[in-house]
Structure formats: structure tokens, C-alpha cells
């Protein structure tokens, strides 16, 4: 099958990621190449590329002779991911507090403004994308490829974990706490910035019910619609 649409590999990856983050696609569901190729009207080769990227980000497990499946994070993995996030994000804000350009300050403030709009209009997809995007933008601003790649992986895994274990339908990684972190960084106040970040991540983790995997949709077509 040749590609019949302009849907890119990255757009397929984002669609699957958002379907997981929005709790429409359950852990353990098989991502069948043929079915996905039909859904997106692209070749199976393009689907395989997307699945490889999703595997890299820890969202999909590709099992030889069986296929690709949405990962099932354990409770232990969930706790480990947030422990590592606290460590890495502390490093990020400490680095930023040593010096940040006016252009980067504007980028961070503009991002928070977009988050406020998404929250006001209650646009779930934008809320999820921008919330994770804020933490990724912080890492990008540091200018370390290693920190950026590490945060990209952690944010992807966090999205899967929150989709599985969140005990509320409301995704609450809000702009108010992000704004406070930004202003602490702008003021070069490393103690306050690291404290705010730790509190913020504890807030997000406190909304997880680390006792059971919730039963989300098995229907791949419905989840990716």
C-alpha cells in the first residue's frame, strides 16, 4: 500500500501518544500494522517507523513474532519514573537559575500563557500537549542534548503512567504552578525554583492511584479516531 495521505510519521506518533494520554487507548492493546495503516491511510512501512519511535519513547513494546503493544507500566516503574523526574528536573531548574536569556524567558512566559488559554477553554488535547511541553521546554532551554533527550523519554513515560493510574479525569499539571517556577528562575532563586518544582511533581504524583491498571478502550479504531 502506498501512502495516500499527507499524514507523517510524527503525526502518527503524536496521535497514538495523545490517545494514550487522553485515556482512550489502554495498556496492553495490540497496535496492528495493517489496521493502523488503514486508519491513517498510509503504508505499513510508515506505521513501522512510527511504532519504532513509540518504542524508543517507552510507550510501545515490540515483541518478535507477536507485534506491537501499548506498554503496561508497573507500580514500581511509575514510582521510579517520578523519582528520576524529580532528580533531573531539579538539575534543570538549578542550571537555568544560573543564567537565562531574555528570549528564553519570553518563550517560557508565552508557553504558560498558551497553557492558560487551553485551561480556560478546557481543550484537553492542548492541555496535555502544553503541560508536558513546558517541562520539555525547560530542558531544551538548558541547551543540553542529554537533558533534553532524557526529559523527552521521562515525559512520554509519565504520560503513559498518568493515563493508566490517574484517579481523576482532570489532567492537572497546571499553568499557575508553571508560572511560579518560571518567575523563580527569572529571579535566579534556585532554592525557591527547586522547591516549587518538587512540590509541583509531588502534586502530579499525588493524583495517581498506584494500586491498579484501569480498564481503558480495546478498540484501536475508536481510540485513534
Q: What are the residue ranges spanned by the domains of the chain?
A: 9-72, 75-206
Find the angle CA(21)-CA(25)-CA(26) to the nearest 5 degrees. 105
H or E element: which one contains 118? helix 102-121
Match 491498571 to its residue by C-alpha cell: 213
Q: Tell me: domain 9-72, CATH 1.10.10.10, correct?
A: yes
Q: Is the pTM of this model over 0.75?
A: yes
The answer to whether 9-72 and 75-206 have equal CATH topology is no
Q: Are 81 and 161 in contact (CB under 8 A)?
A: yes
Per-residue pLDDT of 21-69, as tens digits, reads 777 888 888 999 999 999 999 999 999 999 999 998 888 999 998 999 9
C-alpha cell at 118: 487551553
Query: If you average pLDDT over residues 207-215, what whole number do you get?
Result: 67
C-alpha span between 134 and 107 (Å, rounded): 10
For the segment 81-104, what is each residue's pLDDT rounded down to a tens digit?
999 999 999 999 999 999 999 999
Phi-psi region of 216 (alpha: psi -120 to 50; beta: other; left: phi over 0): beta
- Give the C-alpha separation, 27 to 58, whole Å: 12
Provide the b/e sequence for 104-117 (b: ≥16 CB within 10 Å). bbebbeebbeebee
Topology of the domain covering 75-206: 1.20.120
Number of other CB atoms surrounding residue 5 within 10 Å: 10
Compute the distance between CA of residue 11 and CA of residue 36 in angstroms, rounded to an integer: 13
Residue 2 pLDDT level (bands cut at 50, 70, 90): low
- CA separation for the pair 128, 106 (Å, rounded): 21
pLDDT at 34: 92
pLDDT in tens, 150-203: 998 898 888 888 877 876 655 557 799 999 999 999 999 999 999 999 999 998
Count H helices and E strands in the chain, helices first: 10, 2
Cell of 28: 496492553
Beta pairing class for 60-63 and 67-70 = antiparallel
**SS3 for 71?**
coil
- 225, pLDDT greater than 90: no
Amino acid at each position: 500500500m502506498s501512502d495516500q495521505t499527507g499524514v507523517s510519521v510524527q503525526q502518527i506518533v503524536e496521535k497514538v501518544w495523545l490517545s494514550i494520554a487522553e485515556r482512550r487507548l489502554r495498556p496492553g492493546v495490540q497496535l496492528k500494522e495493517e489496521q493502523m495503516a488503514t486508519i491513517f491511510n498510509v503504508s505499513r512501512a510508515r506505521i513501522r517507523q512510527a511504532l519504532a519511535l513509540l518504542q524508543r519513547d517507552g510507550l510501545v513494546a515490540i515483541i518478535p513474532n507477536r507485534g506491537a503493544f501499548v506498554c503496561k507500566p508497573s507500580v514500581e516503574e511509575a514510582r521510579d519514573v517520578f523519582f528520576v523526574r524529580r532528580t533531573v528536573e531539579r538539575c534543570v531548574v538549578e542550571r537555568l537559575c544560573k543564567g537565562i536569556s531574555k528570549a528564553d524567558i519570553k518563550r517560557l512566559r508565552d508557553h504558560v500563557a498558551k497553557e492558560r488559554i487551553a485551561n480556560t477553554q478546557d481543550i484537553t488535547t492542548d492541555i496535555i500537549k502544553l503541560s508536558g511541553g513546558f517541562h520539555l521546554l525547560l530542558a531544551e532551554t538548558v541547551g543540553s542534548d542529554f537533558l533534553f533527550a532524557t526529559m523527552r523519554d521521562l515525559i512520554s513515560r509519565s504520560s503513559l503512567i498518568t493515563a493508566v493510574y490517574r484517579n481523576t479525569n482532570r489532567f492537572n499539571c497546571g499553568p499557575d504552578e508553571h508560572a511560579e517556577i518560571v518567575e523563580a528562575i527569572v529571579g535566579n532563586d534556585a532554592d525557591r525554583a527547586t522547591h516549587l518544582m518538587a512540590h509541583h511533581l509531588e502534586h502530579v504524583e499525588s493524583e495517581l492511584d498506584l494500586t491498579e491498571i484501569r480498564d481503558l478502550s480495546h478498540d484501536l479504531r475508536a481510540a485513534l479516531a
